[in-house]
Amino acid sequence: MKKILQDLSYAETEVLMLSMGEKKFRAKQLFEGLVQGKTVSGITSLSKALKARLLEEYEDEPVKIKEIFHSSDGTEKYLFELSDGNLIEGVLMKYKYGYTQCVSTQVGCRMGCKFCASTLGGLVRNLTSGEILAQILVVNALHANDEEVKGRGKDARAVTNIVLMGSGEPLDNYGETLRFLQNVTASDGLNVSARNISLSTCGIVPKMYELANAGIPVNLTVSLHATDDETRARVMPIAKAYKISEILKACAYYFEKTGRRYYFEYTLIDGENCDETHARALVTLLKGKPCHVNLIRLNEVKERSLKATGEKAAYRFLGYLEKNGLSATLRRQIGSDIGGACGQLRASYLE
Ligand code: SAH
């Protein structure tokens, strides 16, 4: 694989241009073209000769949209192809205030969660920061001329919010994920506010502390899915490495450092974690903490035997949490007609 220009910050792009004997303003032309989602060959302000030199070493299009699936509710699901032929997926959800894109951080995943399709074939490889970023760049370019986007102002970009909830465990690819966060929030780059970015982790505790200290206060979301370590370990092998109590301590530290409340994802799995006893235990565990609980109804994955909770039971669970003072919501199911759950699309494609 060649190198990836989207891995570079603006300052690093300048260094590159100077090292190639070019003037500084070429870095601006190159960087701005890439930020607009252009390929190197598509940047008209650069000479053919310079582009040819760049393309000897760098990928022209590190992330390509291979297929788009449209849901009846407007949600789009993408199958992206990387330059080595690997496939990853992403989702775009359209809201009134803007578009939220769900991006992947790894090809596959090695966390082994029992309900998740991303981990079925294990980890193939980490994405580079530029491959994470380029998922957003190509989607911004795809939607640059949408009426809704233009209506938001002259310099508006399609993707206003980012969730790191696609395939992969972001904190298992910490270095590249952090670099991505630095570059995507940079004022000379896409300039997305950390407040508009959510990072979801299965709870790799030491990395949660590192993230708290990194100075990019994104919304931290932990996939909890159970209220005791034993039950959690049945569906999430990572629970054998880190206890819920340790996760809660790391969350408290995150709040202390960033001032941001944190989030928990709790996927309701029939017969596993969604009786009233579990709701009560969840209240006991989280009451009074500066957090919010996102309930998710399991998106059934055909390779897995776990079953979703009925809608009524899900609302009952939510009602119990709310009545007992937890801030909670049941995630609206969107895009389920296009295989919205992590890894489903890639899994069916590989098949
Ligand atoms: N590795 C990270 C982020 C990716 S998964 C993490 O574990 O948080 C994003 C969220 O979707 C997680 O909460 C995950 O547990 C949940 N998820 C995965 N597969 C799912 C499925 N089939 N149905 C419902 N939620 C699922």
pLDDT, tens digit (0-9, with 9 covering 90-100), for 278-302: 999 999 999 999 999 999 999 888 8
Instruction: Assign 78 a pLDDT band (cuts: 50, 70, 90).
Output: very high
- For ligand 1, atom 21, which residue shows the shortest CA distance? 299
182 CA distance to ligand 1 middle (Å): 24
Give the closest residue (by CA) to ligand 1 atom 2. 201
What's the 180 CA to ligand 1 centre distance in angstroms? 20
Q: Which of 59, 80, 56 lies closest to 68, judged by CA? A: 80
Buried/exposed code over 235-254 (b: 16+ C-beta within 10 A; e: otherwise): bbbbbeebbbeebbebbeeb
Asked if 221 and 265 count as a contact pair (C-beta separation under 8 A), the reply is yes
Q: Is 299 in the pocket of ligand 1 (CB under 6 A)?
A: yes
> Would you call 229 helix, strand, or coil by DSSP?
helix
HSE-up (13 A, CA, CB side) for residue 161: 17
| pLDDT above 80: residue 349 | no
Residue 303: pLDDT band with limits 50, 70, 90: confident
| Residue 218 predicted with pLDDT over 80 | yes
Q: What is the pTM of this model?
A: 0.96
Residues 77, 93: Cα–Cα separation, whole Å = 9
Q: 132 CB less than 6 Å from ligand 1?
A: no
Interior/surface letters 190-208, b for 16+ CB within 10 angstroms, e for the rest = bebebebbbbbbbbbbebb
Cα separations (Å) of 171 from 4, 110, 178? Answer: 21, 12, 9
Q: How far apart are CA 63 and CA 160, in angstroms?
A: 19
Instruction: Verify whether ligand 1 is closer than 6 Å to residue 167 (CB atom).
Output: no
- 326 alpha carbon to ligand 1 midpoint, in Å? 21
Which domains are present in the chain?
Answer: 5-57 (1.10.150.530), 63-350 (3.20.20.70)
Residue 157 token pair: 């970009």
Catalytic one of 14, 22, 89, 176: 89
Cα 343 to averaged position of ligand 1 atoms, centre (Å): 9
Catalytic site residue 116?
Answer: no
* Alpha helix ranges (H) inside the chain: 10-19, 24-35, 48-57, 129-142, 147-151, 174-185, 205-213, 229-235, 244-258, 276-286, 311-323, 344-350
Q: Closest Cα to atom 8, ligand 1: which residue?
A: 201
Question: For residues 2 and 57, is the Cβ–Cβ distance under 8 A?
Answer: yes
On the question of pLDDT at 340 being above 60, the answer is: no
With pLDDT > 90 as the criterion, what percentage of the chain qualifies? 88
Cα of 42 vs centre of ligand 1, distance in Å, is: 36
Q: How many CB atoms lie within 10 A of CB 335?
A: 22
- For ligand 1, whether the C-beta of 115 sits within 6 Å is yes
Catalytic annotation on 274?
A: no
C-alpha separations of 11 from 7, 64, 134, 146, 189 in Å: 12, 26, 18, 31, 11
CB-based contact 111:172 (threshold 8 Å): yes
Q: What is the mean pLDDT of residues 131-151?
A: 96
7 lines ligand 1 (CB under 6 A): no
Ligand 1 close to Cβ of residue 103 (< 6 A): no
